[in-house]
A and B are shown apart, each in its own frame.
Chain A
C-alpha cells in the first residue's frame, strides 16, 4: 500500500475545486430568473473552468512531488466513536477523475451555453449542472465513504432534476422518477454495505479501512464477500449495469449535454470509481470480483445487441454507454483496475464527443431523434460529421484512436485471467465487433445517403469549439500515461499471445466493414434480414432491450401498483370513518331534538326535572 501522506501539502486551495461550482450554483439559484443570460453563462461555465484550472495546478503539484494530497476542513459529524470529516484525499485515481469531471465538464458547459440559449430555464439549467459538478467532485475527492455517499446521493439528485428538466412533459417526469428509483435500489444496498463495513471494521475513512481490511480479513471471508457484494449493488445501480440498467435509456429524456456529462462521461462511471477506490476490499473477495467480470460481460453484450436495432440516436448512444461501462466492469473484474480507469477516461472523451455531436445534429434538425429521418448530413454539418466519425472510430476501437488503447488493454488482460480468461476475452471481442457495427451504422445512416431532413441552422462556435477539443482528446487520449501505478495494481498483459492482439485489431475493422456492406454499400440488406419471421422476432426482442422493462413491470411495478390500489381504498380508514359516521348520525339525532319549539323544550325540561327528582328520591330513604 502506498500510504505516504502529508497534511495540507502545499495545495490549500483543494477545497476550492468543488466549492467554486457549488458557490456558482447557489448564486444561480438565488439569482433565479432575474439574471441575464450572459451573466448566468459566465457563472455557470466560468466556475467549472476555474475548477479545471485549479485541477491542472493540483496535478502539477502532485506530479512534481508524487505525494498524496490531503485536506481536512472540519469535522462533519461525530456520534459516539464514529466521526466523519469533511476531508479530501487526492491521489492519482482521484486526479484522473477530477480532470475528467472538470475538463470534460467545462467543455460541456461551454457547449450548453449555445445549446440551451433559447431555453426559458437557462439559469435553472446551469444551477443544476454546477451543483452536479460540485457533488461529483465531492464524490471522487471524499476521504471517507460517508462523504463519498453524500456526493453519490448529490449526483443522483442532480441526475433526477436534469432528466426531468423539461418537466412539463409527464413522460420526462416518469423517466426521471424511474432513474431515481432504480438507482435508489442500488443506493440502499450500498448504504447497507457501509453499515456493514463500519460495524465490522469501525471506520469509514477509506485508507485506514483498506489497511484494516487487509490485516483483519483473509481472502474469501464471507463478510468481505458480503460487504463487497453490497457495494457492488450500489455500483450496478449508479453505473446502469445488469440488472439495474433499465433507467439509463429512459434518462435520455434530459437535454443532450446532460446526457453527455452525467449519463456518459461522469456520473454513470461513479460505480467504476467506487470499485476502483475500494479495490483492496474487492481483492479480498475474489467471488465478487468474478461476479463483476461476468456482469460486465453480460451487460456489454446485451447492450450492444440492443444498440444495434434502436432508431433513436440518443438511445443508441445510451445503450452504447451501458455497453462501454460493461467493458470497464469487465476490466475491474479481471483485476485490471488501471485499464478500467483508462477506459473510463477515454470513454468520457469519445462518448461526450458523440453525445455533443448528436446534440448538434438534433439541435440543427428541429429536435429530430430518429436516425432514419436524418441522412446525408455529411456536407451540411461538417463539424458534427467529423466529430461523429472520430467519436465512432474511438468507440469502435479502431487502431490509433484512444478507445483502441484502452479497449485493447482490457481485452488482453481479460485473456490472462486464469480459467475463465478466454471466455471473457471472446465475449469482449464479440462485443467489440458489435460496437463497431452499431457505431458505424449510426455514422452511415445519419451522415451518408439521401438527405431526408434539411438542417435549419449550423452549430456556432460555442458548440463547435468543445467538439473540436474533444475530437483531439478522443484521438490523443490513448497516449496519456495515467499516474495510477501507486494507487492500484494492474494485471500485466504481456502473457497474451500475439494472435490475441491481432484479433483485437481485426474484429472492429470487420465490424466496420460489415456496417459498410449493410448500410452504405447495399450488398447486404438489413431490410431483407428483418423481414423474415425469425429476424422480426429477433429485432423486436432487442428493440425492447431484451424485455427487461416488461419483466420488471410484471415482477415489481404492477404488483406494487396493485397493492397501492388496494390500499388506496384505505381499509384502515374505514374503521376510523365508522366513528365519523357514528358522530354524524348522533348529530342528526340531536339536531332533530333541537326543533325550535318552545313547548317541546319545556316538556323535555320537565322530563329532566322528573328524572332528577326521581334520582334524589331514590337516594333519600
Chain B
C-alpha cells in the first residue's frame, strides 16, 4: 500500500517536472513545478524524513516559488512572451538537449543500478536532525548563514535599481 503511494508520488513528480519545463506560459510552468515539489515532499515524508518534507513545502514550494511568481508578475510578459516561447520551442531545438539528457540519464542509471539494499523504514525524527545540525555540522550552518547574508545583499543591490529608477544625474555609483 505504502509502496504504491511512493510510486504514484514518484510518477507525479516526474510528470509534473516534465510538464513544468515544457510549458510556454511561465505561470503555468510554475504551477506544475509546485506540484512536482509537493510530490517530492510526499516522497520525503514516506522516506521517513518529516522535517525535510515540511521544509520542502514551506520553503521550496512556498517561499522560493512565490519569489518566482513575484518576478513573473513584475515582468508581465503577457501573450507576446508566450508566443515567443512557442516559437523558441521548435522540434529541432529539442535534438541536442534531448540526446545529451538521454545520454546522461543512461550514465546515471548505469551508475546507480547496483545501489545496495532497501530503505530502512526507520524515520529520522527532527530532533535527531537538530542535534546533528548544531553538533558536528555547526560550521556548515554558519557558512550557510553567511551565504544567505551575501545573497540578501546581492539581491538587494541587483533588484534596487530596477525598482527605484535612477535620476538623470545618476548618483547610484556613489551609493
Contact = CB atoms under 8 A, between A and B. Distances in A.
**Touch between chains A and B, by CB atoms below 8 Å:** yes
Nearest to B108: A613
A171 B60 CA distance: 87
Contacts, number: 21
B14 interface: no
A495 interface: no
Contacts of A609: 104
Contacts of B108: 613
Contact of B96 (A603, A610, A613): A603
A606 B107 CA distance: 12
B103 interface: yes
Contact of B97 (A603, A610, A613): A603
A34 interface: no
Interface string B78-100: 00000000000000000011001
A617 interface: yes
B111 A610 contact: no
A613 B106 CA distance: 10
Contacts of A117: none
B96 A614 contact: no
A613 B111 CA distance: 8
B118 interface: no
Nearest to A599: B97
Nearest to A606: B100
B110 interface: yes
Nearest to B114: A620
Contacts of B101: 606
A610 B110 CA distance: 12
A283 B104 CA distance: 98
Interface string B138-166: 00000000000000000000000000000
Contact of B110 (A603, A606, A607, A617): A617
Contacts of A613: 104, 107-108, 111
Nearest to B103: A610
Contacts of B111: 613, 616-617
Nearest to B96: A603
A614 B104 CA distance: 10
A603 B107 CA distance: 16
Residue among B101, B103, B107, B108 with the most chain A CB within 10 A?
Answer: B107
Contacts of A606: 100-101, 104
A606 B110 CA distance: 17
Contacts of B104: 606, 609-610, 613
B107 A617 contact: yes
B90 to A, nearest CB: 14
Contacts of A610: 100, 103-104, 107
A336 to B, nearest CB: 95
A603 B111 CA distance: 21
User: Looking at A603, A613, A614, A617, which has the most chain B CB atoms within 10 Å of its CB?
Assistant: A613
A614 B107 contact: yes
Contacts of A616: 111
Interface string A213-235: 00000000000000000000000
A33 to B, nearest CB: 53
A69 to B, nearest CB: 84
Interface string A1-14: 00000000000000
A609 B104 CA distance: 8
Interface in A600-621: 603, 606-607, 609-610, 613-614, 616-617
Contacts of B107: 610, 613-614, 617
B129 to A, nearest CB: 30
Contacts of A614: 107
Nearest to B101: A606
Contacts of B110: 617
Interface in A559-610: 603, 606-607, 609-610
9 contacts: A606-B100, A606-B101, A606-B104, A610-B103, A613-B107, A613-B111, A616-B111, A617-B107, A617-B110
Interface of A: 603, 606-607, 609-610, 613-614, 616-617
Sorted nearest first, the 8 A-B pairs with minimum C-beta distance are: A613-B107, A606-B100, A617-B110, A610-B104, A610-B103, A610-B107, A606-B104, A617-B111
Given A603-B100, A610-B104, A613-B108, 18 more contacts: A603-B96, A603-B97, A606-B100, A606-B101, A606-B104, A607-B100, A609-B104, A610-B100, A610-B103, A610-B107, A613-B104, A613-B107, A613-B111, A614-B107, A616-B111, A617-B107, A617-B110, A617-B111
